């Protein structure tokens, strides 16, 4: 029979391992511990990391400028900040995750075409930082006009065919983000910043990634890991079966921890945290019904997806939503708790709003009331 763990103990340990319980560390250590910081919205990623370091958003930007953190495509093919030192593991693991394209056959790249694009990008970026349009020209010049056909639906128009392989190119270690050129992003090769870089062997990298995920988010099921990674559930189950894990029962469900890990211990202290859009803690944590109880399931999730709303975390679970609006040197913060906050929670909320002001370098102003802003698109 599996050992049992309780939800409050699991959440307390996750908060600690995500550096949300008071401990702090550096940007690279944070992003490594939480398995990457979602950075599609760059300012949200900066808040997410700085909240855990005791530093500011400027400190996170400096870590990117100094190449301690790499902005690239991570889990689910979405933009993440990852520690530079961990890039061999991430590329070795993500390049081995089965790709499930939903594009029509007439648009979809073949395996051979994808390989040619990866090689073309690697060559074009070997000693350059190129915008998306410049990279398109370079790829077309190397592989042919078919790569530039405008067939990929994107926002109000279409992207060139090769763009469907963008995350794959990054996962194979041929691309990451370069320095911005005005308002335009650029792409470059991670080899320029990481001499000797090469992706790790796939099986070792996958085992390492699973170990890290379970350390930060465990206990978890193969299906939960697959959802976090956007991988086929059957493939994830096979990976779990090959790994050295221990079963535990959480809320009546069979879940898994790393074999050498300890069982979570029950402990509870008043805790309030303002987590920004796409914070790793809410995106990677399961079960959703325990993390988002009651009204939180309707207010904090978008079609079941976590991360599209900034979350007020109260004692380890979603207890509200919040919104920020910048104006000059101030930031107006509106927080809507789902229940009345205790005096201790309100003191922590005030401290969190002050901390947000420090992170952003702005004077904060708090309003407790309804949040009417919808989900992030």
> pLDDT category, 336, cuts 50, 70, 90?
very high
Q: Does residue 303 carry a pLDDT above 90?
A: no
User: Is there a domain that residue 244 lies in?
Assistant: no
pLDDT, residue 318, reads: 97
Q: Does residue 292 carry a pLDDT above 80?
A: yes
Q: Does residue 377 carry a pLDDT above 80?
A: no
User: Is there a domain that residue 45 lies in?
Assistant: no
In whole angstroms, give the CA distance from residue 322 to residue 66.
32
User: Is there a domain that residue 302 lies in?
Assistant: no
DSSP 278: T
> pLDDT category, 1, cuts 50, 70, 90?
low
Question: Could you read off the pLDDT of 48-79 as tens digits, one per residue?
Answer: 999 999 999 999 999 999 999 999 999 999 99
DSSP 95: T
Q: DSSP assignment of 158-203, as one string?
A: EEEGGGGGHHHHHHTTS-EE---BTTB--EE-GGGTSTT--PPPHH
Q: Is the overall model pTM greater than 0.85, yes or no?
A: yes
User: Is there a domain that residue 189 lies in?
Assistant: yes
* Helix extents (H) in the chain: 7-17, 27-33, 42-53, 57-65, 87-94, 111-124, 132-143, 166-171, 202-217, 222-229, 233-242, 280-284, 288-291, 296-299, 343-360
**Mean pLDDT, rounded, for 167-187:** 97
Q: Does residue 91 carry a pLDDT above 60?
A: yes
Q: Does residue 191 carry a pLDDT above 90?
A: yes
Q: Please answer whether residues 100 and 235 qualify as being in contact, where contact means their C-beta atoms are separated by less than 8 angstroms.
A: no
User: Is there a domain that residue 329 lies in?
Assistant: no
User: Is there a domain that residue 149 lies in?
Assistant: yes
**Mean pLDDT, rounded, for 123-134:** 97
CATH number at residue 125: 1.10.10
pLDDT, residue 22, reads: 84
**Mean pLDDT, rounded, for 339-353:** 96
Q: Over the chain, what is the mean pLDDT? A: 95
Residue in the structure block whose two tokens are 């697959």: 226
Question: Could you read off the pLDDT of 44-53 as tens digits, one per residue?
Answer: 999 999 999 9
> pLDDT category, 268, cuts 50, 70, 90?
confident
User: Is there a domain that residue 373 lies in?
Assistant: no
Q: Does residue 219 carry a pLDDT above 70?
A: yes
User: Is there a domain that residue 146 lies in?
Assistant: yes
Q: What percent of the chain has pLDDT over 70?
A: 99
> pLDDT category, 102, cuts 50, 70, 90?
confident
Q: How many domains are contained in the chain?
A: 1
The whole domain housing 144 covers 99-198
Q: Does residue 154 carry a pLDDT above 90?
A: no
């Amino acid at each position: 029979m599996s050992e049992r763990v309780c939800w409050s103990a699991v959440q307390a340990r996750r908060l600690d391992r995500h550096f949300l319980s008071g401990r702090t560390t550096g940007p690279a250590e944070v992003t490594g511990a939480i398995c990457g910081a979602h950075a599609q919205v760059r300012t949200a990623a900066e808040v997410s990391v700085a909240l855990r370091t005791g530093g500011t958003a400027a400190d996170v930007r400096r870590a990117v400028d100094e190449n301690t953190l790499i902005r690239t495509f991570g889990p689910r093919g979405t933009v993440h900040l990852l520690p530079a030192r961990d890039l061999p593991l991430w590329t070795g693991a993500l390049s081995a995750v089965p790709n499930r394209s939903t594009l029509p056959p007439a648009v979809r790249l073949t395996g051979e075409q994808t390989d040619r694009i990866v090689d073309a990008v690697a060559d074009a970026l070997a000693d350059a930082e190129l915008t998306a349009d410049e990279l398109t020209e370079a790829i077309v010049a190397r592989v042919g006009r078919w790569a530039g056909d405008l067939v990929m639906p994107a926002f109000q128009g279409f992207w060139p065919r090769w763009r469907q392989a963008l995350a794959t190119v990054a996962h194979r270690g041929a691309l990451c983000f370069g320095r911005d050129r005005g308002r335009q992003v650029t792409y470059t090769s991670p080899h320029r910043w990481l001499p000797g870089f090469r992706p790790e062997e796939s099986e070792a990298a996958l085992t390492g990634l699973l170990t890290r995920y379970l350390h930060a988010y465990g206990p978890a099921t193969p299906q939960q890991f697959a959802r976090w990674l956007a991988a086929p559930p059957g493939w994830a189950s096979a990976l779990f079966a090959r790994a050295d894990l221990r079963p535990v029962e959480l809320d009546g469900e069979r879940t898994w921890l790393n074999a050498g890990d300890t069982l979570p211990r029950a402990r509870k202290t008043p805790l309030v945290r303002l987590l920004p859009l796409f914070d790793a803690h809410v995106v990677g944590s399961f079960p959703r019904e325990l993390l988002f109880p009651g009204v939180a399931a309707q207010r904090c999730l978008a079609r079941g997806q976590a991360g599209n709303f900034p979350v007020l975390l109260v004692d380890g679970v979603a207890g509200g939503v919040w919104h920020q609006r910048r104006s000059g040197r101030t930031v107006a913060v509106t927080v809507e708790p789902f229940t009345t906050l205790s005096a201790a929670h309100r003191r922590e909320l005030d401290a969190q709003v002050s901390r947000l002001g420090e992170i952003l370098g702005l004077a904060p102003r708090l309003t407790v009331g309804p949040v009417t802003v919808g989900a992030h698109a």
